[in-house]
Amino acid sequence: MRTSQPQTIYLKDYRAPVFLVDHVDMRFELFESGARVHSVLSMRRNPDSDSADKSLELDGDSLTRLESVSLDGNPLEQDAYEDSIDKLVIHQVPDRFELGVVTWIEPQNNTRLEGLYKSSGMFCTQCEAEGFRCITYFPDRPDVMARFRTRIEADKTLFPILLSNGNDVEKGDLEDGRHFVTWEDPFPKPCYLFALVAGDLVEKRDSFNTMSGRDIDLRMYVEPRNSEKCDHAMESLKRAMRWDEEVYGREYDLDIFMIVAVDDFNMGAMENKGLNIFNSSCVLASQETATDLAFQRIESIVAHEYFHNWSGNRVTCRDWFQLSLKEGFTVFRDSQFSADMGSPTVKRIEDATMLRTAQFAEDSGPMAHPVRPESYMEITNFYTLTIYEKGCEVVRMIRTLLGADMFRKGSDLYFERHDGQAVTTDDFVRAMEDATGRDLSQFRLWYEQAGTPELTVRDQYDEAAGIYRLTIDQAIPDTPGQTNKKPQHIPFAVGLLGAEGESLPLKLAVDDVEAPVDRVLELTETSHTFEFHGLSERPTPSLLRDFSAPVRVFYPWTREQLTFLMSHDPDGFNRWDAGQRLAVDVISSLLGAGSEAVDPGLIKAYRALLADSSLDQALVAKMLQLPSEAYLIELAEKPNVPAIHKARERVLEHMARALRDELLACYHRNTIAGSYEVTPESVARRSLRNTALAWLLHIDDEEGRALATSQFADADNMTDRLGALRALVNSGYEQEREQALTSFYERWKSDPQVVEQWFSVQSGSSRTGGLRKIHELMEHPTFDWKNPNKIRSVIGVFAGQNLPAFHEEEGSGYRFLAEQVRRLDDSNPQIAARLVSPLTRWRKFAPVHGDQMRMALESIRDKSGLSRDVYEVVHKSLAGQ
Ligand code: B3K
Ligand code: ZN
């Protein structure tokens, strides 16, 4: 708990560590009543530090007791050191020494889930970013890299499996039914990559033969009840290992690679060296219990954590301001992997949707920060969409600018030059420059300036000269602490379409012989004009193809142009985007008048989409999804949430009625006869079928109801069962809804991952009764305040997805959220701070909502003993009033 005003930490204050740790020898004695942690640090003065300070400072947090301190084997007297709540200072140390520290901690009472804690009876750790200091006193910063030897001792019956990083080098029995295992990790690592697991777990084994012919032992550890849910993660892991060899030339380094699943986890997973720990929901899957979406998410998270072994572990971050060095790059790597495993266009659409809906919102709100922030109060708050997703886009743009081969040269140089080091985003960019000779100095602004660039595009056609001109103005909005930004270097991919939908050559000069049909224009000025020659007709522009940069584009598209692009653009992403823009335009036009009819052009376009079975069905499945409410809110100036909800529902209803027969045909056409498989094609078909079903139930279609109830009863997989359940929950068929919810729960109540989905379907539905339902779910016997997944699936989904209920006029949704944040602030500040997010956007809304959101924030601000995590988010959100 906080005892003083949280301090701001600045990048400009970075200093090299005064002392380094070469080796750490740890011994954990694990008991029911707590854990005794012995550590011996082999330390020496850092030759690169300019400090002459003789004292040594170590970080600590929430340590129950310091039991002893020794220097070179000699116990230190009380006056030789000073221990406070967050520091241990040894007044005088030599240039080289061994420091022994013994602490007592209580993992069983650790509800923050940082450091060492207990989940379903097992011990596990989460040390990134600053959790290691909750285990023992240590220089807890990523640029201190040490070799670890870890001995774990525990009761042999309760904890037969004892794991840590590296290789197991020794094991044996002890007195009183206890045993021990010692692990040694030959690779120096920062302590945030340390991990320990002790539990009664089953082991699943496989192996992988690397590119140089080494056999790697692959092991998964899960609770016995989950032993049948490991195959998908294991297969994903092997695919990721092969892919990283083929695409980046990266081979795995240790002899063992382990994955553990735990139920109580603050985020998705953690890339600890050789011992990745996963939230159960991000690793366990079976056909009966996990949806296609979950299968895909698991594949990408398993790959993400594995890829960190190089981008994060072998080459790590110098300080936490450089977080995107490992996260942005690794997200980019996992997104390339997912694109290669499935449909690249669909993956691009998913990534762009996430960016445009949530990251753009973050980047224009009070927590907006650059990809490389300049300051923070609590680093945990900076595991953001900006660091991860925008960071990924920045790496993608470097690849677009350099080309695939040059980018690979750059990444090879980066890994070779910095292997075993803790480095900066600037080192990454420099490796790209040095390997290729490109100048990326202006490009670096992407790391330094926050805010989403806005591109305003104008065009002009000169018929007599056969010239088409595109003028692109860029502006970057002000964000907290940053104004008057410089223009950025933006790769802007374009194509031009002729009247028949054919691609026209892009001649940037009269005698341009290369003239491709798809070109990346490089924007570097505030305003840039490009002239395309040799055009005998006015073309339709296809702008920002494949979403080549994380920017907003403004161009006065007509509905005719959008309909045309929707069916003709060879760029799959822009086809989808044209459909979204058309739908946004139609929905927005209903906001004001209310009585305006839904444009028949939209129906026509969707009818064509549903009829054409020659189209990539995965793309059609995406195109059929109307823009989400969250996206419509993000696009609006002062959004009126109930009005947006109503307008979107009206369009949906109108389209479902007009296209009823096509939807039924689509449903039947996509019924899959064979056995369940997770291939892009079958995923697309299930998605189409379930979208068709959802639309039919939206208008309470009788045939749709019959299809939903039989699909619910007969499905052999969770995608179809949950699809039917969701359709029923969002329909007016109350009896069927209640029956389906009850039978679903009865069948799956002992499976936490399925129960989480059952919670989400209800908390995210605008038809199930809003807050009353949320309270009911929170009182449900399986709801657990200590389990982040349950909190997210009820409270998080309510505030993030059930938007009409959350933004209910009287402000009850806001007050409810504030109450839960205050409640969680003491037990799990990290989760509490994440939950605050929807309220931070209060300035975006008209006063009727905004004022109530602000008051909810103030009620959180006024809680006594507010955690640093929540303090930072709330104070920054309220700042400047
Ligand atoms: N690196 C971890 C995230 C740790 C979050 C700490 N609050 C997972 C990942 O990005 O792979
Ligand atoms: Zn990561």
Question: Does 378 share its domain with 401?
Answer: yes
Q: What is the pLDDT of residue 594?
A: 58
Among protein residues, the one with the nearest Cα to ligand 1's atom 8 is 270
Backbone phi, psi, residue 43, to 5°: -120, 155
Question: Does 227 share its domain with 104?
Answer: yes
> Domain span at residue 426?
324-448
Listed residues 274, 307, 340: the one ending a domain: 307
Question: Does 430 share its domain with 494?
Answer: no
Which of 549, 550, 621 has its CA nearest to residue 579?
621
Among protein residues, the one with the nearest Cα to ligand 1's atom 5 is 128
Question: Does 444 share its domain with 459?
Answer: no
List, run by run, the mean pLDDT of 10-residue segments along the chain (881 residues).
78 98 98 98 97 97 98 98 96 98 98 98 98 98 98 98 98 98 98 99 98 98 98 98 99 98 98 98 98 98 99 99 99 98 96 98 98 98 98 99 98 99 99 98 98 98 98 98 98 98 96 93 98 97 98 98 97 98 96 78 94 89 96 96 95 96 97 92 96 97 98 98 98 97 98 98 93 98 98 98 96 98 98 98 96 98 98 95 56
Listed residues 307, 336, 370: the one ending a domain: 307
Q: 130 CB less than 6 Å from ligand 1?
A: no
Tell how far the Cα of 293 is from the centroid of ligand 2, in angstroms. 19
Among protein residues, the one with the nearest Cα to ligand 1's atom 7 is 380
Q: How far apart are CA 578 and CA 130, in angstroms?
A: 44
Question: Does 270 share its domain with 127?
Answer: yes
Ramachandran class of 476: left when φ > 0, alpha when ψ lies in -120 to 50, beta otherwise: beta
Question: Does 260 share its domain with 384?
Answer: no
Q: How far apart are CA 586 and CA 296, in angstroms?
A: 32
Q: 380 CB less than 6 Å from ligand 1?
A: yes
Q: How far apart are CA 264 and CA 253, in angstroms?
A: 29
Q: How far apart are CA 550 and CA 359, in angstroms?
A: 9
Question: Does 461 share its domain with 430?
Answer: no
Q: 305 CB less than 6 Å from ligand 1?
A: yes
Q: Do residues 705 and 731 make contact, with C-beta atoms less than 8 angstroms apart?
A: yes
Specify the CATH number for the domain of residue 89.
2.60.40.1730
In this structure, which residues have their CB less than 5 angstroms from ion ligand 2?
327, 330
Q: Are strands 540-543 and 519-523 parallel, antiparallel or unpaired?
A: unpaired
Tell how far the Cα of 269 is from the centroid of ligand 1, in angstroms. 7
498 lies in some domain: yes
Ligand at minimal distance from the CA of 276 is 1
Question: Does 96 share its domain with 232?
Answer: yes
Among protein residues, the one with the nearest Cα to ligand 1's atom 10 is 327
Tell how far the Cα of 270 is from the centroid of ligand 1, in angstroms. 5
856 lies in some domain: no
Among the atoms of ligand 1, which is closest to the Cα of residue 308? 11
Among the atoms of ligand 1, which is closest to the Cα of residue 305? 11
779 lies in some domain: no
Tell how far the Cα of 593 is from the centroid of ligand 2, in angstroms. 46
Q: How far apart are CA 676 and CA 288, in angstroms?
A: 10
Q: Which residues of 811-844 are buried (b: 16+ CB within 10 A; e: fewer)?
A: bebbebbbebbbebbeebbbbbbbbbbbbbbbeb
836 lies in some domain: no
User: Cα separations (Å) of 745 from 103, 117, 172, 732, 755?
Assistant: 44, 29, 44, 20, 7
Q: What is the pLDDT of residue 1?
A: 47
Q: 304 CB less than 6 Å from ligand 1?
A: yes
Specify the CATH number for the domain of residue 355.
1.10.390.10
DSSP-assigned states of every residue in 144-211? -EEEEEEEEEEETTT--EEEESSEEEEEEE-STTEEEEEEEEEEEEEGGG--EEEE--EEEEEEEE-T
Tell how far the Cα of 326 is from the centroid of ligand 2, in angstroms. 7
Ligand 1 pocket test, candidate residues 194, 271, 302, most atoms within 8 A of CB: 271
18 lies in some domain: yes
Question: Does 105 share its domain with 212?
Answer: yes
Question: Does 294 share its domain with 181?
Answer: yes
103 lies in some domain: yes
Tell how far the Cα of 312 is from the centroid of ligand 2, in angstroms. 8
- The whole-model pTM stands at 0.98
Ligand at minimal distance from the CA of 330 is 2
Tell how far the Cα of 195 is from the centroid of ligand 1, in angstroms. 13
Q: 383 CB less than 6 Å from ligand 1?
A: yes
Ligand 1 pocket test, candidate residues 113, 133, 327, most atoms within 8 A of CB: 327
Specify the CATH number for the domain of residue 500.
2.60.40.1840
Cα distance between the two ends of the chain: 27
Residue length, the chain? 881
527 lies in some domain: yes
Listed residues 307, 332, 364: the one ending a domain: 307
Question: Does 61 share its domain with 171?
Answer: yes
Among the atoms of ligand 1, which is closest to the Cα of residue 304? 11
Among the atoms of ligand 1, which is closest to the Cα of residue 380? 7
Q: Is 458 helix (H, G, I), strand (E, B) or coil?
A: strand
Among protein residues, the one with the nearest Cα to ligand 1's atom 1 is 270
Q: 333 CB less than 6 Å from ligand 1?
A: no
Of 153, 305, 736, 872, which residue is the catalytic one? 305
Ligand 1 pocket test, candidate residues 117, 262, 267, 306, most atoms within 8 A of CB: 267
Q: 327 CB less than 6 Å from ligand 1?
A: yes
How many domains would you assign to the chain? 3
Q: What is the pLDDT of residue 881?
A: 56
Write the CB contacts of 110 (distance below 8 Å, at least 6 apart in sequence).
62, 116, 117, 118, 134
CA angle, residues 553, 834, 268, in degrees to nearest 5: 90
Q: Which residues of 529-561 are buried (b: 16+ CB within 10 A; e: fewer)?
A: ebbbbbbeeebbbbbbbbbbbbbbbebebebeb
Q: 128 CB less than 6 Å from ligand 1?
A: yes
Q: Which residues of 644-661 are buried (b: 16+ CB within 10 A; e: fewer)?
A: bbbbbbebbebbbbbbbe
Tell how far the Cα of 694 is from the centroid of ligand 1, in angstroms. 35
Q: 270 CB less than 6 Å from ligand 1?
A: yes
- Our answer to whether residue 662 is catalytic in this structure is no
Question: Does 436 share its domain with 532?
Answer: no
Q: 271 CB less than 6 Å from ligand 1?
A: yes
591 lies in some domain: no
Q: 129 CB less than 6 Å from ligand 1?
A: yes
Among protein residues, the one with the nearest Cα to ligand 1's atom 6 is 128
Q: Which two tokens stand for residue 765?
A: 């539905």
Tell how far the Cα of 89 is from the centroid of ligand 2, in angstroms. 32
Tell how far the Cα of 865 is from the centroid of ligand 2, in angstroms. 31
Among protein residues, the one with the nearest Cα to ligand 1's atom 2 is 270
